[in-house]
Structure 1
Amino acid sequence: MSGAVRWGVLGTAGIAARAFLPALREAGGGTAAVVAGRDLSRAEEYAARNGVTQAVRGYEAVIEDPSIDAVYIPLPNALHAQWTIAALEAGKAVLCEKPLCLTAAEAGNVIEVARRSVRPLWEAFVFPFHPQTARLRGLLAGGAIGELREIWSSFHFTMEGTEDIRLEAALGGGALYDVGCYPVRLAHLLFGGDAVAGHAVAVKGEAGVDIETAGVLEFDSGRLMMSCGFALPFTTYTRLVGTGGEIRLTNPFHPEPHDGLEVWRDGRLIDRHEPGEGTAFSWGIRHIHEVLRGEAEPRHTAADDSLGTARSLDMLR
């Protein structure tokens, strides 16, 4: 294809307004052509507030629109599989919010559809596209901390109020699915291969979903020790412990200018790196645009990366 990539957004979720739409403007090469909602007036208000060209009623209107090249799906987790499959079968590229699905079996079904589709599917773990991740992987490959053995990673924030879809069991809520999946995806990226064992403990809220989870995943070459939740102050602090030192990151998932990556050996700071320009989302969207214009081969697609993460989440659920 040539020209600007035309995106459709399914639903009026806050994550699209906070992260995806600003990143789309930052990335360039694409436009937010349409947003769909169950309520047209709400979708119209959302479109006007967030710079989306058009609003329509019903997700089918976006799926069936031949002018739409790519679809972003920030719907509740329980709806991801249904609408991802519909968009893929309509010939759209798809960026689906994480987690791709609620079980590995469901993820496997979606990935089979993706492998037959004319355009790729990505799960919205966009940090692998950020320059900080490339620097991190380069340091590990260069032996900066010897052989990686352990990853300690937390993702917590304080959820305000009780009216939130992430607290609804029927919609696939819970801390593990919302933020605990990030350390899991990071471990798969850095260790490679599937986890061979895992277990977790969880604190559940009144709605029946986990509001805090802590767990361990074992890989052939090391282990992940993770925690996540909705009840503590914001943190994404992560340590990578190797045989010759460690790397400390304040935010490996969505680094901002004040974040950093540090290399430590023998209890001393050896080196520090700034994260670089741009948000993780904008780097991910740039890559999608390059793929759709035929300028790059797709990387970090759901077909390549998502099933292992889903299997690990099954172990920790």
Structure 2
Amino acid sequence: MASFVQRLYRIYAPPSQPSKVAIESDGSGSKPIKFGILGAANIAPPALIIPAKSHPEVIIYAVAARDQKKAERFAKKNAIGKVYYGANGYQQLLDDPEIDAIYNPLPNMLHFEWTMKALLAGKHVLCEKPFADTAEEVRQMFDLAEKKGLVLLEAFHYRFHPAIQRVKAILDSGELGKIKSIDAKLMAPSGAVGSDDIRFNLALGGGAAMDMGCYTLNCIRYLTSSNPTSVISATPTPLKSADINETKIDRAMNATLELPNDIIATIEADLAMPWTIFPLKIAKIWVEVKCEGGDVELINFVLPTFWHTIKVSTKAGGTTSTRVEKVYKFADAHLDDGNSKALALGEDWWLTYRYQLEAFVDKLKGRTPQTWVEREDSIANLEWIEKIYEKAGIGSRPKSDYLLPTE
């Protein structure tokens, strides 16, 4: 508990506030990356603003929102110096020559349009997941980024934390033998997501498989180093509504997939898991992998900085031995990849988002990031979300009507 409280305190008040680097008169130093944020989203503070406090090469320079009061209130609360608002606020932010990179936390349906517009404006983009509503849109986003020579990253922040990488290293080592099955769950209790939340809006790309399900799908693909070969079953739990559009919104999604080498994967995502009394279940956030020679389970794979546990059970000679690991920084992860910088990376209070920001800045600065989410990885994740929706009988989310301007 003491270490938890200490980590929590340091997240919001880093031990030392670094001076933001700048170009000196002799040309030395490194110009800081200036970020602009599209939308005054609730995710922006933990995902970017707080991590930027402890990064010496990042400045949160501007924010744009449709509503003037909301934009100004958000900027004041988060000490952001420049504000854009109104019908043209987003585009004015993109046109600001001082801004190097854009953080796009807009609703899913708007990811494609405003990421494309940001790339057209010559900005690097860190975009929230899921990247878009369709895999084809993701392809177009990467095609444009590559054409422009810009960095584009889907914000699967948990992938940058050493905890999930430690689990993958255990599986890849062969210690537990061949993977037989993998089960990933991400389920929030009823009431955690309001009934009017954008996650329940089909027109905005809502649905459990899009929101929490994109994590669980990504996790099984990452840990097995493979893509599914088929969707065996997909069972949606719809919103209770007579509205035809809302019947296509999955409040929850339970899917079973087949992966190479006879691996069976199950994913469960729920935006409003019913409360139970015996036992009390607040949330489910875990991934469990069963192998021929044992099992490994990571509880809280999404936000391990706050608290997590890696439980490894090995079977040998008719007996089972169990160990528990905690991994908050790469020095604790036992990763032998020959990268001395990576092994020294991080602090126990770094959020997954802080590790992600480190990688994003490294990429922009021409350095090699500790890990990365590649183009084909992001495309495949949306492809299989679409296939899950197809199997469930409710169809993909509506694609954007934004068209790239012709040259």
Which consecutive residues of structure 1, in runs of 5 or more, have no partner in the other structure? none
- Tell whether the 8 Å contact from 1:7 to 1:32 is kept in structure 2 after alignment: yes
Between 36-45 and 132-141, the greater mean CA deviation after superposition: 132-141
Q: Which residue of the other structure, out of 104, 114, 118, is the alignment partner of 1:83?
A: 114
Q: CA, structure 1 residues 43+201, in 2 after alignment: closer, same or farther (shift >3 Å)?
A: same
Q: CA, structure 1 residues 26+210, in 2 after alignment: closer, same or farther (shift >3 Å)?
A: farther
Cα displacement (A) at 1:270: 2.5
Q: How many residues align?
A: 317
Normalised TM-score (structure 1): 0.94
CA distance in 1: counterparts of 2:170 and 2:366, whole angstroms:
30
Q: Which residue of 2 aligns with 1:271?
A: 323
CA distance in 2: counterparts of 1:294 and 1:109, whole angstroms:
24
Q: CA, structure 1 residues 299+265, in 2 after alignment: closer, same or farther (shift >3 Å)?
A: closer
SS in 2 for 1:177: coil
Q: Which residue of the other structure, out of 197, 202, 225, is the alignment partner of 1:164?
A: 197
SS in 1 for 2:283: strand
Q: Which residue of 1 aligns with 2:37?
A: 9
Alignment RMSD (CA, Å): 1.9
CA distance in 2: counterparts of 1:51 and 1:64, whole angstroms:
21
Structure whose residues are more often strand by fraction: 1
Q: CA, structure 1 residues 179+160, in 2 after alignment: closer, same or farther (shift >3 Å)?
A: closer
Between 26-35 and 9-18, the greater mean CA deviation after superposition: 26-35
The letter of the residue matching 2:64 is A
Normalised TM-score (structure 2): 0.74
Residue deviations 1:143-187 (CA, integer Å, cap 9, x gap): 221122321010011234312111111101111111111011112
Cα displacement (A) at 1:299: 4.6
Cα displacement (A) at 1:2: 2.7
Cα displacement (A) at 1:297: 5.4
Q: CA, structure 1 residues 257+160, in 2 after alignment: closer, same or farther (shift >3 Å)?
A: closer
Between 215-224 and 91-100, the greater mean CA deviation after superposition: 215-224
CA distance in 2: counterparts of 1:114 and 1:129, whole angstroms:
22
The letter of the residue matching 1:142 is S
- Tell whether the 8 Å contact from 1:148 to 1:241 is kept in structure 2 after alignment: yes
- Tell whether the 8 Å contact from 2:300 to 2:307 is kept in structure 1 after alignment: no
SS in 1 for 2:302: coil
Which consecutive residues of structure 2, in runs of 5 or more, have no partner in the other structure? 1-28, 274-281, 329-347, 390-407
Q: Which residue of the other structure, out of 106, 116, 124, is the alignment partner of 2:137?
A: 106
Matches within 5 A, 1:1-317: 2-57=30-85, 58-158=89-189, 159-198=192-231, 199-205=233-239, 206=241, 207-208=246-247, 209-221=249-261, 222-232=263-273, 233-266=282-315, 268-276=320-328, 277=348, 278-296=350-368, 299-317=371-389
Q: Which residue of 1 aligns with 2:26?
A: none
Between 131-140 and 33-42, the greater mean CA deviation after superposition: 131-140
Higher Cα Rg, which structure: 2
Give the fraction of aligned pairs with identical amino acids, expressed as a percent. 28
